[in-house]
Amino acid sequence: MLNVQHVSKSFGTLKALDDINFTVPNGHILGLIGQNGAGKSTTFHSILNFLHYDGEISWQNKPITESIFDQIGYLPEERSLMPKLTIEQQIVYLARLKDKPAKEIRPIIDSWLEKFAVKGNKKDKIKSLSKGNQQKVQLICTLIHDPKLIILDEPFSGLDPVNSDLLKQAILEAKQNGASIIFSSHDMENVEEICDSLVMLKNGRIVLDGTLDDVRDQFGKTRLFVTTDWTADKLSQLPHVDSVVQQSHNRYLLNLDDPKAGKEIFDLLTHGQYIEEFSQQPPTLNEIFRMEAGDNNE
User: What's the rounded Cα separation, in Å, for the pair 267 and 259?
Assistant: 15
pLDDT band of residue 296 (cuts 50, 70, 90) is very low
Mean pLDDT in residue range 197-206 = 96
Closest residue by Cα to residue 8 from 63, 51, 59 = 51
Residue 17 · residue 39 · CB < 8 Å: yes
- Mean pLDDT, residues 43-48 taken together: 96
243 plus 264 within the same structural domain = yes
Q: Does residue 151 carry a pLDDT above 50? A: yes
Is the model's pTM score more than 0.85?
yes
If DSSP codes are grouped into helix, strand and coil, which group holds residue 282?
coil
Note the pLDDT tens digit of each residue in 253-266: 999 999 999 999 99
Same domain (yes/no): 143, 235: no
pLDDT tens digits, one per residue of 47-81: 999 999 999 999 999 999 888 999 999 999 887 89
pLDDT > 70? residue 24: yes
| Structural domain containing residue 261 | 223-281
- 213 and 230 co-located in one domain: no
pLDDT tens per residue across span 78-117? 878 999 999 999 999 999 999 999 999 999 999 999 999 9
Same-domain pairing of 70 and 177:
yes
CA-only gyration radius of the chain, Å: 23
Q: Identify whether residues 238 and 162 lie together within a single domain.
A: no
* Residue 264 and residue 205 share a domain: no
pLDDT band (50, 70, 90) for residue 4? very high
What gap in Å lies between CA 297 and CA 10, rounded to an integer? 22
Q: How many domains does the chain have?
A: 2
Q: Cα–Cα distance between 259 and 130 in angstroms, integer? A: 49
pLDDT of residue 295: 55
Decide if 219 contacts 288 (C-beta within 8 A).
yes
Q: Which residues pair with 62 in a beta bridge?
A: 59
Residue 296 in any domain: the answer is: no
